[in-house]
């Protein structure tokens, strides 16, 4: 199955890209190409930041897919404060060069969705999970497992976007949100889940299997 919800560029980026190109063109026509080059570099950065490529969902039973592109920074036992349980925590850090679309890690129903205002410390730090602005989805799978997926703002991220609501049914690979600009996503799994990644590993949203759960 391929999820391709937006044509090449995420819808969140269209206004930014339009402004960047308009400014670059205005300076180029008014002052020449040399003066406009810095603005064209900015436009290229905006274009790559808001890219939203199609992704193929692996056909792997019980797989928990990565909800984001980036680098794994945590694989450890932890406490899931949103579902109130001990859990296996896997965190993915996104830098400004990663794709920032967030995609559902499992099939299921969004049992809870809670937004928490907070700080904007470096998302690579452990305390970001507790102190930064964040949005938590608690998902119940058809098999009865609980998977919590938390969007966490970072040092320069100032906007968490989420397009699902409590009670919605989601499917693996479905695009559910976006974070601007540089952030992390925490995934809390049942303790019996088996991690398929290690700290330092680079992952891609939807295509990388983070872990497997039996039910």
Q: What is the pLDDT of residues 134-155, one digit of tens each?
A: 899 999 999 999 999 999 886 6
pLDDT at 131: 60
Which residues fall within 8 angstroms of residue 5, CB to CB, at 6 or more apart?
Answer: 52, 175
Residue-range domain boundaries for the chain: 2-49, 60-212
* In the chain, beta strands by DSSP E: 2-3, 55-56, 63-65, 70-80, 85-94, 101-103, 108-116, 134-140, 146-153, 159-162, 169-170, 175-180, 183-189, 194-195, 202-203, 209-212
Asked if 196 and 209 touch (Cβ cutoff 8 Å), the reply is yes
pLDDT tens by residue, 4-56: 455 677 777 788 889 999 999 999 999 988 999 999 999 888 887 778 888 88
The share of the chain scoring above pLDDT 90, in percent, equals 54
Q: Is the pTM of this model over 0.85?
A: no
* DSSP code, position 115: E
Distance (Å) of CA 166 to CA 23, 57, 140, 170, 193: 40, 24, 11, 11, 24
User: CA 91, CA 213: separation in Å to the nearest integer?
Assistant: 17
Side-chain half-sphere CA neighbours of 54 within 13 A = 6
Superfamily of domain 60-212: Glucose Permease (Domain IIA) (2.70.70.10)
With H, G, I as helix, E, B as strand and everything else as coil, classify residue 61: coil
Q: Is 183 a catalytic residue?
A: yes
pLDDT at 120: 52
Q: Which of 66, 78, 91, 183 is catalytic?
A: 183
């Amino acid at each position: 199955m391929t999820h391709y919800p937006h044509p090449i560029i995420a819808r969140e980026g269209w206004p930014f890209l339009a402004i960047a190109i308009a400014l670059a063109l205005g300076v180029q026509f008014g002052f020449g190409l040399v003066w406009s080059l810095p603005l064209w570099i900015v436009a290229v950065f905006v274009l790559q930041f808001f890219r939203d490529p199609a992704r193929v969902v692996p056909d792997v039973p019980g797989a928990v897919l990565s909800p984001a592109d980036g680098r794994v920074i945590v694989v450890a036992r932890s406490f899931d404060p949103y579902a109130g349980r001990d859990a296996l925590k896997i965190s993915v850090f996104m830098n400004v060069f990663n794709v920032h679309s967030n995609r559902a890690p499992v099939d299921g129903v969004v049992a809870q969705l809670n937004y928490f205002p907070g700080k904007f410390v470096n998302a690579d730090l452990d305390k970001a999970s507790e102190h930064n602005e964040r949005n938590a989805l608690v998902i119940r799978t058809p098999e009865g497992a609980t998977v919590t997926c938390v969007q966490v703002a970072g040092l320069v991220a100032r906007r968490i976007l989420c397009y699902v609501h409590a009670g919605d049914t989601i499917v693996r690979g479905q695009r559910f949100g976006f974070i601007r600009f540089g952030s992390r996503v925490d995934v809390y799994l049942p303790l019996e889940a088996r991690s398929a990644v290690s700290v330092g590993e680079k992952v891609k949203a939807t295509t990388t299997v983070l872990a497997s759960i039996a039910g």
